[in-house]
Structure 1
Amino acid sequence: MSTADLILTNARVLTMDPDHPRAEAVAIAGDRILAVGSAAQIWALAGPATKVIDAAGQTLLPGFFEGHVHVGLGGADLTHLHIGHLHGAEAVGKAFRSFAAANPGMPLLMAQEAHYGILDKPATRHDLDAMIADRPIAMMSPDLHTVWANTAALRAAGLLNGAEMPHGHEVVMGDDGLATGELREFEAFGPLIAHAGEGRINLGIATGEEPHPRPTGAERAADKALLLKGMMHCAAHGVTSLVNMDGNRYTLELLAEMRAERNLPLRVKVPFHFKPHMGLDALDRASAMAAEFDDDWISSGFVKMFMDGVIDSRTAYLLQDYPDQPGHRSEPLFPPERFDEIATEIDRRGLQIAVHAIGDGAVRTVIDGYQAARAANGARDSRHRIEHIELIDPADVPRLGALGITASLQPPHAPGAMDFPLQPTLSRIGAERWGDAYRCRSLAEAGAHIAFSSDWPVADVSVLRGIAAALTRKPYDGAGDERLSLMQVLEAYTAGGAWAAHRDQVTGTLRRGLAADLVLLGGDIEATDPREIPALGVSLTICGGRIIHDIGMLA
């Protein structure tokens, strides 16, 4: 056997390999795992040039697999104002004015994490004008589905007098014939993001199309800088692989350039984003992306879609009326018959499907479409996914396992579990449905594959905070306990995420021959109170044998 380049020993190794779940040490040679075993077995692989890290009893895991993230948007988010901890117009206005003074040349002052009740009333452009009137400012909701802008921002983006939008996207208009300031869904606030200079990175999620004209020079460099900023932030939290849930060919090209420049720290998977305005022939682009980008570092091979919006803005598609708005259920972005046709064609091409579905109506529509695809094409190892599943009808719970559907869930999203407030979400679901909301254990027990993620920048990308949220979440009144065990949660953030992304042959477990992707925590996670897990921190992140985050283990 070869000599190790790096050995991590005296660790509490949780391999996520069911055949050999625990070990004491790991040896790395090049970009691969050379061996996993006892300290004595691994020490025998040391040579004169081998670097050795004594983990001092800390937990060593496969690198975290972030299965649903928006890394370019996250990189941009790191440059924005964050107001999730604030409440009321006075506090928000003070923060905006301070941010404005510190950023005199910024074309748009964007605040993130503006929860729907942050001003104790529906926000309007006039509310934001009272904070700052002479510069464009805007607030983004935590779910990234709604923006509120002041008059200057609406004027700069060409939205003050309204704009025609695709189904499901809306510039809300007032009785005075002008925009109120509320912009619902991605294409509605897309012009605002473009005015900020972040439109190219936002394009994959907003329209699914490519930038035109093709960016060159400084523009490409700026976009790569945002991707790198986002990836390094993820690496600091132990992430070694991610699924970038917004994307296009341009995103893949940027990643390929970063790899050629030896500046790609993480493994990234990028979808083709299919939008309602597209015809089936658009899937030729998805097939081309899958064929051209398919290696251990950069891959595609799947199609992302949105079936609905979010509960807080009442754009999630429900099977029953919203309790606080009788007669309103919203609508699916794809009529069921059309989604069946699209899903069948995607599946026929051998591509994976991932669909954002929040409401129980949207979830059922997606399940029905996957069932139609299987009936038409036959069963295969498709691993089709449903993203979020914040509300599900009890009759649909067992269907995921039966059809081999992955439940791609985000523990930080459940109101009250981490940063999201209980209201208005729970009121809009209705107390009688709380038992059907944010289900996890019941989906797993019914046979669904589970993958956990953050949806950053919707929620904090910190995996340790997500683990704590998953383990400490309190049941809603009348609802069951939806928590999984610690080992199940860790699997969902590692092996489960890799499996859900068809990357389990590359990473997700610590086994000889797989990629040397590891995260060393700052203590023994099994001996830590779940509430204290975030305080452990990440000591070391290794991706492909390269140390990409280190708090001094090699000092």
Structure 2
Amino acid sequence: MSSTLFTGGVVWTGTGQEFDALLVTDGVVRALGGQARDLAAGVDCEHVDLAGGFLMSSFGDGHAHPLYGGLEAVGPPVRGCGTVDEIVTAVKVYAEDHPDEEWIVGASYDGSLAEGGLFDARWLDAAVPDRPVVLRAWDYHTVWCNTAALERAGITADTPDPVLGEIPHRPDGSVLGTLREWGATDLVMNVMPARDERERIGALGTAADYYLARGVTWVQDAWVEPGDVATYVEAARQGALRMRFNLALYADPRHFDSQIEQFAASRRAVEEAGSPLLTANTVKFFADGVVENETGALLAPYCSGLHSHGMQNWEGDSLAEAARRVDELGLQIHIHAIGDAAVRQALDAIEHTLSRNGTRDRRPVIAHVQLVDDTDIGRFAELGVIPNMQPLWAQMDALMTVLTIPRLGVERSDRQYQMQTLNRSGAALAFGSDWPVSSGAPLDGIAVATSRLTAEGQPDGGWTPHEIVPIERALSSYTGAVAYQAYAENTWGVVTPGASADLVWLDQDPRNTPPLDLPHVGIHATYLRGAQAYRADEGKVRP
């Protein structure tokens, strides 16, 4: 047997208890406190001195896009650009350094850098006039193309807005170069060459490096298409997965009847891969888009009136019936819902599923829940729905002040991200990051959840401070609550005897750390099933 004894710090179980010692044997928590010391005295084991630090269950990310995040490292580095000119320069330099690439593909630019989030193809033409350029926005609902890419996709001034999409135009009627939502972005994505499979598997490694260095060992990939399933399966067969992933198979309202036949086959392919780190138990629905491009579905119109109430991707009762059919397969429902109308439609779909398919342990998820009407708050707990929310978004940053508030108005904006309200209602509040849309570091999100402040400490007292989540609840929302979402509460998410030793060692107790300092708490090491997967002083992730 292989054993490790952790001492010299606080061991927080996530169950309301803390101890001063932890014994792990063969990747499983064996004992805590004095019992751990007693059992360790009789065996040959490794000793780890926590040096006054804090050991807890590793984090889970209940909603993210790890494959996309890993692929961002492959294209032009536009994520950190603070102006349109910086983006164009980064694309130009990358294109010059990669003369053999037929398409220049990258992500993800800041959509608030151009008025209304509208970016012109001619700006990219100045950098790369002879090859297609396609950049995803930070929200992954929007794409910015150059003229060559629009031409390859056959998009002209006469191309009508497709179903579930929008093609903005210049005042003279010519195509601008920004494409919004799937119906429009797919016009370009469908003619782009597929990335090399080795590159895609490498991107999963990049994502693992990113997450393990931030204490995360389980991720819900919340947007997986058939080609992505194949990539994960091949990575599993090669032994290239280094953390836990669950796949949410993408349900497209335009093709759902044919897709549903693929869901069971995809789950079976994942099971046959035989990796304990990979599951495919979930189906992802998009009920709407995002507020920032006015495709989030609202009960009352947008202030600008550009899209009135926004966009509902599933018409009538089609979402309810699709959710019921997915549930019949024994798969978990996971619905993206940003606006209050989309949240209501998602809750209605789950209620329909329960009434038609009967009682079972289904744990449906509604992700984001940016706006929810007061009359719908109690329905989460009543229907057993998990609100998976992105706490980092609940702050008055540039995205909020430049793009969101002008579209929603102040009164409605102050009802966003009601995390503590949902928590108090009895809903099983879980957290995710939506990485690479925003930071995948849980401590970044927890800092905002526990303060409602920007990194600069604004506004004084916090924005909508009544929605501040207590620190221990915030930690649990990124650990035990995500494990519950993953049907893994008996495997990981808390530190108790018999649980997998999925752990993160912090250099200080986050419960006693001012919220604005939480992003700077150091992560000494991350453990998966008792094995060290990351150690800070080695500067790398272990294979």
Given the two structures, how large is their TM-score scaled by the length of structure 1? 0.87
The yes-or-no answer on 1:60 pairing with 2:55 is yes
Alignment of 1:95-110 (within 5 A): 95-110=90-105
Cα distance between partner residues in 2 of 1:257 and 1:244: 16
Q: 1:46 to 1:268 in 2, by over 3 A?
A: farther
Q: How many residues align?
A: 530
1:505 to 472, 490, 493: 490
Deviations 1:109-150 (A, max 9, x none): 445443333134632212333454344334432211111212
Q: 1:115 to 1:259 in 2, by over 3 A?
A: closer
**Residue matched to 2:110:** 115
Worse-superposed segment, 270-279 or 119-128: 119-128
Q: 1:284 to 1:241 in 2, by over 3 A?
A: same
Other structure's SS at 1:302 match: strand
Alignment of 1:182-193 (within 5 A): 182-190=178-186, 192-193=188-189
Cα distance between partner residues in 1 of 2:160 and 2:498: 53
The yes-or-no answer on 1:314 pairing with 2:294 is yes
Q: 1:99 to 1:501 in 2, by over 3 A?
A: same
The yes-or-no answer on 1:75 pairing with 2:70 is yes
Q: 1:195 to 1:57 in 2, by over 3 A?
A: farther
Q: 1:331 to 1:174 in 2, by over 3 A?
A: same
1:530 to 491, 515, 524: 515
Deviations 1:416-466 (A, max 9, x none): 36x744221111111121232111101111111111111011001111211
Contact 1:434 1:478 in 2 (8 A): no
**Residue matched to 2:5:** 7
Q: 1:223 to 1:115 in 2, by over 3 A?
A: closer
Contact 2:72 2:108 in 1 (8 A): no
Contact 1:4 1:47 in 2 (8 A): no
The yes-or-no answer on 1:124 pairing with 2:120 is yes
Cα distance between partner residues in 2 of 1:78 and 1:144: 15
1:537 deviation in Å?
Answer: 2.5
**Residue matched to 2:529:** 544
Worse-superposed segment, 148-157 or 428-437: 148-157
**Residue matched to 2:334:** 354
**Residue matched to 2:23:** 27
1:279 deviation in Å?
Answer: 4.2
Deviations 1:325-377 (A, max 9, x none): 17711231112311221222222333210011111111100111111111112
Q: 1:28 to 1:157 in 2, by over 3 A?
A: farther
Cα distance between partner residues in 2 of 1:75 and 1:327: 33
**Residue matched to 1:381:** 361
1:479 deviation in Å?
Answer: 4.3
- Name stretches of at least 5 consecutive residues in structure 1 with no aligned partner: 201-218
2:401 to 422, 426, 429: 422
Q: Which amino acid aligns with 2:70?
A: G
The yes-or-no answer on 1:395 pairing with 2:375 is yes
Q: 1:84 to 1:251 in 2, by over 3 A?
A: closer
1:174 deviation in Å?
Answer: 4.8
Contact 2:136 2:144 in 1 (8 A): yes
Q: 1:281 to 1:78 in 2, by over 3 A?
A: closer
1:103 deviation in Å?
Answer: 4.0
Other structure's SS at 1:11 match: strand
Cα distance between partner residues in 1 of 2:18 and 2:192: 49
1:494 to 479, 482, 491: 479
1:240 deviation in Å?
Answer: 0.5
Q: Which amino acid aligns with 1:117?
A: S
**Residue matched to 2:133:** 137
- Name stretches of at least 5 consecutive residues in structure 2 with no aligned partner: none
Q: 1:120 to 1:249 in 2, by over 3 A?
A: closer
Alignment of 1:406-485 (within 5 A): 406-416=386-396, 420-474=399-453, 479=464, 481-485=466-470
The yes-or-no answer on 1:170 pairing with 2:147 is no
Q: 1:260 to 1:85 in 2, by over 3 A?
A: closer
Q: 1:120 to 1:546 in 2, by over 3 A?
A: same
Cα distance between partner residues in 1 of 2:202 and 2:85: 34
Cα distance between partner residues in 2 of 1:42 and 1:187: 60
Given the two structures, how large is their TM-score scaled by the length of structure 2? 0.89
Other structure's SS at 2:526 match: strand
1:251 to 216, 228, 251: 228
Q: 1:52 to 1:253 in 2, by over 3 A?
A: farther
1:554 deviation in Å?
Answer: 12
Q: Which amino acid aligns with 1:127?
A: W
Other structure's SS at 1:472 match: coil
**Residue matched to 2:37:** 42
Contact 1:289 1:301 in 2 (8 A): no
Contact 1:286 1:302 in 2 (8 A): no
Cα distance between partner residues in 1 of 2:320 and 2:114: 41
**Residue matched to 2:210:** 233
Other structure's SS at 1:68 match: strand
Q: Which amino acid aligns with 2:113?
A: I
1:262 to 221, 239, 258: 239
- Runs of 4 or more consecutive aligned structure 1 residues displaced over 6 Å after TM superposition: 475-478
Q: 1:119 to 1:554 in 2, by over 3 A?
A: closer
2:176 to 174, 180, 205: 180
Other structure's SS at 2:518 match: helix
Q: 1:11 to 1:105 in 2, by over 3 A?
A: farther
The yes-or-no answer on 1:273 pairing with 2:269 is no
2:149 to 138, 142, 153: 153
Worse-superposed segment, 347-356 or 292-301: 292-301
Cα distance between partner residues in 2 of 1:36 and 1:327: 57
Contact 2:452 2:464 in 1 (8 A): no
